[in-house]
Structure 1
Amino acid sequence: MKLTSSTRYPRRLELALLPSLIAAALASMPAHAQQAPAAPSAESSQIETVIVTATKRPAPLQTVPIAITVISGAQLEKSNLNTLGAITSQTPTASFRSGASNKDTSLFIRGVGTISTSPGIEPTVSTVIDGVVTARPGQSTMDLLDVDRVEVLRGPQGTLFGKNASAGVISIVTRDPGAEFGGYVDLGFYQGNEKRARFGVSGELKPGVVRGSFSLMHGDYDGNITNVANGARLNGYDRNGARGKLIITPNPDTRIALIADMVKSRDNTPTGVPVGLTVTAYPSNVVGAPNTQYQAGVAPVVPSKTNRSINSEIETRVADDNSGLSAQVDWNAGAHALTSITAYRKWENTQYQDQDRLPLTYRQFPQTVDKGDLSFNQFTQELRVASPKGQFFDYVGGLFYMKAENAETYRRDVTRCVNSVAAALPSGLVPCTPSTTTVDNGVATYGIDSTSASVFGEGAFNFRSDLRAIAGARYTRDKLSFDHNRTSTQLAAIPGVRPAFVAAGSTSVTGYSGRIGPQFDINRDVMVYATASRGYKGPAYNVFFNMQAFDNIAIKPETSNSYEIGLKSSLLNNRLRLNLAAFNTKYDNYQANLNDLVAGTIVTRLINAGSVSTKGIEMDFVAKFSSRFTVSGAAANIQARIDSFNCPPGASASCDVNGKPLPFSPDWRANLRANYKMPVSGGWMADVGADYNYQSEVVYDIGQAPDSIQPAFGIINATLSLYNSEQGWSVTLVGKNLANKSYATNLVNGGGFFARYVPRDDQRYFGISVRKDF
């Protein structure tokens, strides 16, 4: 199967939206309120009620038998947290893998996630934007705009959220337009020449019938890494986005939501900065000899754990465009609520990467430059029915369909001079000469076509007003096919490029998900629940540039069995909210990446790694000591371990990893936040906030490479806001990483040395944002 521009997506957008448009013409349904009730007044000493849609219909957080973390959009904006990767830094049960491109990123919940750039694998953590599932993890890394809240659902959620939710769901809910005309302008300026601007308007377009909102976003940042080759600043971004939303209520019983969004990003994140010149073997812990030749090649850069500089002639960069359209129609059919969500999303990604991380070509170090082009489209259709509340059996059931197509072209250019006889430099490096320099390349074109259809449902048997049983199931049918064609200028392997290769394949699999368990209200303020869940993630193919014969075999679906008990409570006259959860989950046919070698260059290899497990205890709380002083926090002790690892033939890395931790999963993570509000004068209020985020030691490599371990660290942030609600003004001062703690969000083996990915808050920085609501 060869994917071309004419076959990349089979339907026109007009046809894609047809089901929801037809639904709008059918019998009507009451509009579903998606926002929380009005918060208590500024003088209230009670905690406001939080409404979530984790069960596909609005419900108070404390009544939902799922472990959920909720972060408000207002808090994200105030704290300069603009992506899901940044959000996970303050969510103890979630973590994020950084990379030089959106294609290389991953989300993890309870220590489990998917690390792969292959388009033939789906994420373990499902990301949902306004009810629309995204099929690739790179789609969810765009800047966030007009967010009402982010809901992080922990544990398998396949009964209601789709096949790729075996570890959890991150659901992003954007703001609805207001009934009255208004708007805002929000400007932020931060050290490092980071600038952010948001603008939005909202209001009625037709009284009582149509409400609309439109928002724009711009952000740019020079970066916190220096390229000494040309003095350029790297690790920055330039992003622009827009979002429009229409809420149409043609009669009191019908609600239609039409949403369009677009984000264009231009990032220049390097493929890591050098931190060490030795490689420690695992499991012997023998430290190899220092790579003095590489040290000379990157000079004057000095590799260290706090290094923020590179020496490269190529700017690693990525152009990333995300866009989407969706139509959600809710209406009433007698006593039942019906919902249709029709959506189309498009993702375009072009990346350039410097794989050798050096400014010149030497006999010992070939120059390797990559360019990849990705074009991805998905169409989704979901139909749901919800029973009326208050019956013996309350339920939500439905049908889901996804069609996704991915086409990629990836090219690797290799410049080398293996026959150079030039005089060696004092460092031992041998320069290239024009007569001995050759340029080779490999080019791969490959595509993925996937289809998934499922029927699902979950309900509650209400035996008494305080006792109910939860039961849900999902049946999924997945079809997956690929084609791959790689050409090379050489018949034999060259550094980082395997010989020419052509392959195609397909598979189809049936999968099942489910959840069952009791829920009991001890009293009106305390609820407990226990669930047994089964998660399912579909089959996969390791389709990538250096694909070879054994990659033709489909990777088996990943399944999980999870057991969870939880408690949710509102105590002290709703001044203290305390939620607890304990869980034990085992994954079979775990889909993982393992390091491999291609002619001396490290690549990754996707396999069914065997079985892994994750178990732990989670806690989150909110305490309102007075109308002015609030303390909140969360902590998680998660033991994510490899139980039985299946070592593939010819693996270059050690497979002696049974009992070792999963990558990107520290045993302990916690955060603590305090806020104090007080009047100043003339209607102005001050809001002082501080938070501390801690994580224990974490390994970033499933092969347990000792050099890929990030030691434990903690980050302190603070904000000071002055606001006047009547005048609509607010000014916020932000201080990030006040203790100036340097750390790595990823550590990778560059072949004889290690490199780290540098986070935005790797150094202390300050900023100010000004907002005017009108």
Structure 2
Amino acid sequence: MSLRPLLTAAAPLALIAATPALAAPASDAPAAQSAADEGDIIVVTARHRAETSQAVPISLSVLGGEHIDRTGAFNIDRVQQLTPTLQFYSQNPRNTSLNIRGLGATLGLTNDGIEQGVGVYVDDVYYARPAAATFDFLDVDRVEVLRGPQGTLYGKNTTAGAINITTRQPSFDFTVRAEVSVGNEGFHQFKGAVSGPLSDRVAVRLAVSSTNRDGNVYNAHNGDGINGQNNVGGRAQVLWKATDTLRITLTGDWNRQNPECCGFVYARTGTTQRALNRQFAALAATAGYTPPSTNPFARVADLDTPLRALNEVGGASLKAELDTGIGKLTSITAWRFWHWDPSNDRDYTGLPVTSVSQNPSQQHQITQEIRLSHEGHKIDYTVGLFGFDQTVHTQGLQVQGAAASKWLLKPTTSASDCYNTNCLNGLTSTNTIGLKNASAALYGQLTWKATDALSIQPGVRLNYDWKSGTYNGIVTDASGNLVQFATNNTAAQLSQLSQLAPESFAATYSAWNVSYDVTASYALARDIHTYASYAHTFKSGGINLNGLPADSTGAPLLQYATVKPESVDHFEAGLKTQWLGRRVTFNLDAFRTEIHNYQAIVNNGQQSALRGYVDSAPLVRVQGVEWDLALRPNQRVNAYFNGAYNDAKYVRFANAPCPPELAGGTTVTGSQTPSPAGTPGGLSPASCDVSGQRLPGVSKLTLSYGAEGNVPVTLWGHGGELYAGVDGSYRTAFSSNPSPSAYTWVNGYALTNLRAGFRADSGFDIYGWVRNAFDVGYYQQLAVAPGNTGLIVGQLGDPRTYGVTARVVF
């Protein structure tokens, strides 16, 4: 089944449909400053109509474009320092997890057949692949982070939340924005936009950006600096005011990243259940290998495989907005692509254990959304239709190198054994993965204004998902001969099959689902609003497209080919307040989310040595409180203090993959008892019960805070203000492995960013900045190297950086 013909046929509707521009200019204040005085009100379009953020009965944070620019938060990775419940992890663009309150996609869950739980929308267009979240923002007016299920408001169902990005639109006044930044480590960035009229009815806007920075990790193998930045992007928009009630906007964009990325450094080693002579220290000694540094914050890696992270996205959209008199009708037709061409070093050492590891991928998507929004005296509503069609093609390639046999296999004295004949050298796995993914939905939300103070807001969504996936994995030896399961496999072939196994299967998934929610909100006073909500929703099921566990003959266990949908029950209550003439804003919310059939990486008993795959953890629970506090006593000072406490855990998960300290030994059978953790040569459990333990990537406490002060001055003949600001963030320790491990906890850390400069009334701004001012050494995440050798590697956060930015707007 494909929705592509339906979406193509629906495209002409874009010429006769739509809502007037719903986006009102956002405040330049940070999210926590929401509405700090009478003249500083943030207007959002979270519910597809313009309204103040304080009046919306949704837990959300809003970042104005000016605040994003001033704080250097030019991508989602940096935005997470300003929004405590947003988590962003990216080993590379394809292996990216974007979570809100710890939900969305578990770490390590890179699988073409599994969808994300956090939706990313740019000007109402849904971006299906999380890789899009790694790009720089381009001419952004504001970013809204909506927490909790949003399926009755947005086209694609999202169970954890949505990131709604609104760019600056074409204007009929001629405007220019230009910004140049230079800094240490070869950092240079340019952002520019120009907008103006072509006629009384047509306006255009052109925007470009470019970011470059040298690598801040030294690769001892070849002397290169790695993990740098090399980003370029552009967007063109044409607005046609066809009539006084009809607006049509055509948008095209293209973005490319091409850094030498993404490398991990040696972090530590920990004892596993593997035999002592197969732990990292012994293997390295046998190979005559010494890591160039065992101090991770010396920022030295040793990677012998060339690194590449060529990441390209782009597309076009046609948005039509029509005021019908009975409501605002919007149609958005969009096509997008994503191309990924990587090269990784997946043994994380300078040894040729895995000489090639890469999964190039190409994705194309078409979306069509039509919605009608109405604002009335007693009733407001939004009703919409959404269609989505996606194709994904991935080509996996893994080649074992000259050091593979002695690194991965048991030592032996037999001269003909694979260990001594080096039969893993040149062993190659070629995987071809295909996915066709289609969904359609009817959604709607109604607001009944029962009284001037009380509103009741029910919503419902009817959704259909269909997926068809194929996986074909072929294994060959160094001579190009097929390596397959057979009754007469040689000892060498069995050794090869223990490392790379061929597999082929096809699977389909389809399901209807109904979601619903209800919210009650009550205004205790003009500036004191309360709300409570309940949502029952789902995250689409999927297909395991990274391979399946297999039986003793190598046949895939097809009962694991498809993954159940997640079933979500979400409860939330909140309070939004402003005091002292809106000079103080304090918002508070409490939430509890329970997920049945949580999609996670699991193992299948005795087959776990062959493959990890995606299945369902029976129950996960996330609960906590969040707050935003903003102070603006006058026009010269503002401050904010945001935070979240989040208790996120597996409630029931008995067949989880074991952490490294319990892995690598002989799997227990019958009445055998697993050895204590970290026992070389011990017995390992087939799987581990992690019930009651923390979800990965979630700190119990996260904070963001900051302040800015200014004084009026005249410089260089221009009136304006001198200002200085600080922005900080803090998070407590978090687990960096799907099953918590003593070896992969990331310690808590605090980051501090400083800025000071002169802002002229004429639109000129120049300032100096320091990020990570105290040069805190921290990990973005830790990872377990393959092979159960006990090697733990780390992805480092940026060191202290500094520079200067000049910006002009006229």
For normalisation by structure 2, the TM-score amounts to 0.86
Question: Does residue 771 of structure 2 align to residue 736 of structure 1?
Answer: yes
Question: Does residue 587 of structure 2 align to residue 579 of structure 1?
Answer: yes
Question: Does residue 617 of structure 2 align to residue 609 of structure 1?
Answer: yes
In the alignment, which residue of structure 1 is the partner of 2:731?
A: 695
In the alignment, which residue of structure 1 is the partner of 2:413?
A: none
In the alignment, which residue of structure 2 is the partner of 1:686?
A: 722
Read off the aligned partner of 1:471 and give its amino acid letter.
P
Read off the aligned partner of 2:697 and give its amino acid letter.
F
Distance change in 2, residues 1:49/1:754 (3 Å): farther
Q: 1:327 aligns with which of 318, 324, 340?
A: 318
Shift of 1:356: 1.5
Question: Does residue 320 of structure 2 align to residue 318 of structure 1?
Answer: no
Tell me the distance in 1 between the aligned counterparts of 2:496 and 2:449. Answer: 66
Distance change in 2, residues 1:297/1:575 (3 Å): farther
In the alignment, which residue of structure 1 is the partner of 2:758?
A: 722
Distance change in 2, residues 1:669/1:470 (3 Å): same
In the alignment, which residue of structure 2 is the partner of 1:498?
A: 500
For 1:364-763, list aligned pairs within 5 A. 366-390=353-377, 392-416=378-402, 438-489=425-476, 490-491=483-484, 492=494, 494=496, 497-544=499-546, 549-550=556-557, 552-594=560-602, 604-647=612-655, 654-681=687-714, 682-726=718-762, 728-750=763-785, 751-761=788-798, 763=799
- Provide the secondary structure at the position in 2 that maps to 1:35: coil
Read off the aligned partner of 1:656 and give its amino acid letter.
D
Tell me the distance in 1 between the aligned counterparts of 2:525 and 2:403. Answer: 76
CA contact (8 A) 1:195 1:220 kept: yes
For 1:333-348, list aligned pairs within 5 A. 333-348=324-339
Distance change in 2, residues 1:300/1:110 (3 Å): closer
In the alignment, which residue of structure 2 is the partner of 1:424?
A: none
Question: Does residue 146 of structure 2 align to residue 153 of structure 1?
Answer: yes
Moved more, 749-758 or 76-85: 749-758
CA contact (8 A) 1:384 1:398 kept: yes
For 1:351-370, list aligned pairs within 5 A. 351-361=342-352, 366-370=353-357
Tell me the distance in 2 between the aligned counterparts of 1:687 and 1:624. Answer: 15
Read off the aligned partner of 2:433 and give its amino acid letter.
Y
Read off the aligned partner of 1:291 and give its amino acid letter.
A
Read off the aligned partner of 2:592 and give its amino acid letter.
N
Identical pairs, percent: 27
CA contact (8 A) 1:536 1:558 kept: yes
Distance change in 2, residues 1:685/1:98 (3 Å): same
Tell me the distance in 2 between the aligned counterparts of 1:97 and 1:595. Answer: 23
Question: Does residue 128 of structure 2 align to residue 128 of structure 1?
Answer: no
Moved more, 90-99 or 588-597: 588-597
Read off the aligned partner of 1:443 and give its amino acid letter.
T
CA contact (8 A) 1:70 1:150 kept: yes
Tell me the distance in 2 between the aligned counterparts of 1:347 and 1:81. Answer: 23
Shift of 1:542: 1.5
In the alignment, which residue of structure 2 is the partner of 1:291?
A: 281
- Provide the secondary structure at the position in 1 that maps to 2:258: strand
For 1:232-247, list aligned pairs within 5 A. 232-247=224-239
Tell me the distance in 1 between the aligned counterparts of 2:147 and 2:256. Answer: 30
Distance change in 2, residues 1:765/1:131 (3 Å): same
Structure 1 stretches of 5 or more lacking a match?
A: 2-6, 422-431
Shift of 1:79: 2.2
Tell me the distance in 2 between the aligned counterparts of 1:526 and 1:125. Answer: 29
Tell me the distance in 2 between the aligned counterparts of 1:744 and 1:655. Answer: 26
Tell me the distance in 2 between the aligned counterparts of 1:709 and 1:420. Answer: 30
Distance change in 2, residues 1:39/1:87 (3 Å): closer
Distance change in 2, residues 1:29/1:700 (3 Å): closer
Shift of 1:500: 1.9
Shift of 1:258: 1.6
Tell me the distance in 1 between the aligned counterparts of 2:146 and 2:451. Answer: 27
Read off the aligned partner of 2:124 and give its amino acid letter.
G
Read off the aligned partner of 1:758 and give its amino acid letter.
Q
Tell me the distance in 1 between the aligned counterparts of 2:81 and 2:611. Answer: 28
Shift of 1:596: 8.9
Shift of 1:162: 4.0
Tell me the distance in 2 between the aligned counterparts of 1:233 and 1:710. Answer: 24
Distance change in 2, residues 1:532/1:381 (3 Å): same
Q: Could you report, residue by residue, the CA deviation over 1:178-229 in whole angstroms, capped at 9, with x for unpaired residues? A: 321121221111211111111211111212x122110111111111100111
Tell me the distance in 1 between the aligned counterparts of 2:442 and 2:204. Answer: 33
- Provide the secondary structure at the position in 1 that maps to 2:306: coil
Shift of 1:139: 2.5
Tell me the distance in 1 between the aligned counterparts of 2:697 and 2:443. Answer: 31
Tell me the distance in 2 between the aligned counterparts of 1:211 and 1:239. Answer: 27
Moved more, 116-125 or 436-445: 436-445
- Provide the secondary structure at the position in 2 that maps to 1:471: strand
Read off the aligned partner of 1:247 and give its amino acid letter.
L
CA contact (8 A) 2:23 2:45 kept: no
Distance change in 2, residues 1:312/1:23 (3 Å): closer
Distance change in 2, residues 1:495/1:436 (3 Å): closer
Read off the aligned partner of 2:599 and give its amino acid letter.
Q
CA contact (8 A) 1:275 1:307 kept: no
Aligned length: 738
CA contact (8 A) 1:497 1:599 kept: no
In the alignment, which residue of structure 2 is the partner of 1:187?
A: 180
Distance change in 2, residues 1:628/1:724 (3 Å): same
Tell me the distance in 2 between the aligned counterparts of 1:191 and 1:596. Answer: 49
Read off the aligned partner of 2:773 and give its amino acid letter.
L
Structure 2 stretches of 5 or more lacking a match?
A: 31-35, 408-418, 477-482, 485-493, 551-555, 658-666, 668-683
Tell me the distance in 1 between the aligned counterparts of 2:217 and 2:614. Answer: 31
Read off the aligned partner of 1:719 and give its amino acid letter.
R
- Provide the secondary structure at the position in 2 that maps to 1:494: helix
For normalisation by structure 1, the TM-score amounts to 0.89
Shift of 1:348: 0.4
Shift of 1:378: 0.7
CA contact (8 A) 2:354 2:404 kept: no
Read off the aligned partner of 2:284 and give its amino acid letter.
Y
- Provide the secondary structure at the position in 2 that maps to 1:156: coil
CA contact (8 A) 2:369 2:386 kept: yes
Q: CA RMSD in A?
A: 3.0
Q: 1:306 aligns with which of 273, 297, 321?
A: 297
Tell me the distance in 1 between the aligned counterparts of 2:402 and 2:361. Answer: 28
CA contact (8 A) 1:686 1:723 kept: yes
Read off the aligned partner of 2:307 and give its amino acid letter.
T
Tell me the distance in 2 between the aligned counterparts of 1:73 and 1:524. Answer: 28
- Provide the secondary structure at the position in 1 that maps to 2:245: coil
- Provide the secondary structure at the position in 1 that maps to 2:297: coil
Read off the aligned partner of 1:174 and give its amino acid letter.
T
In the alignment, which residue of structure 2 is the partner of 1:429?
A: none
Distance change in 2, residues 1:359/1:20 (3 Å): same
In the alignment, which residue of structure 2 is the partner of 1:24?
A: 15
Read off the aligned partner of 1:697 and give its amino acid letter.
A
Q: Could you report, residue by residue, the CA deviation over 1:654-679 in whole angstroms, capped at 9, with x for unpaired residues? A: 52211111000100001111011212
Moved more, 156-165 or 259-268: 156-165
CA contact (8 A) 1:274 1:753 kept: no
CA contact (8 A) 1:279 1:707 kept: no
For 1:160-239, list aligned pairs within 5 A. 160-207=153-200, 209-239=201-231
Q: Could you report, residue by residue, the CA deviation over 1:212-260 in whole angstroms, capped at 9, with x for unpaired residues? A: 1101111111111001111100011211100112222122111222211
Tell me the distance in 2 between the aligned counterparts of 1:147 and 1:703. Answer: 37
Tell me the distance in 1 between the aligned counterparts of 2:403 and 2:26. Answer: 65
Distance change in 2, residues 1:436/1:500 (3 Å): closer
CA contact (8 A) 1:166 1:560 kept: yes
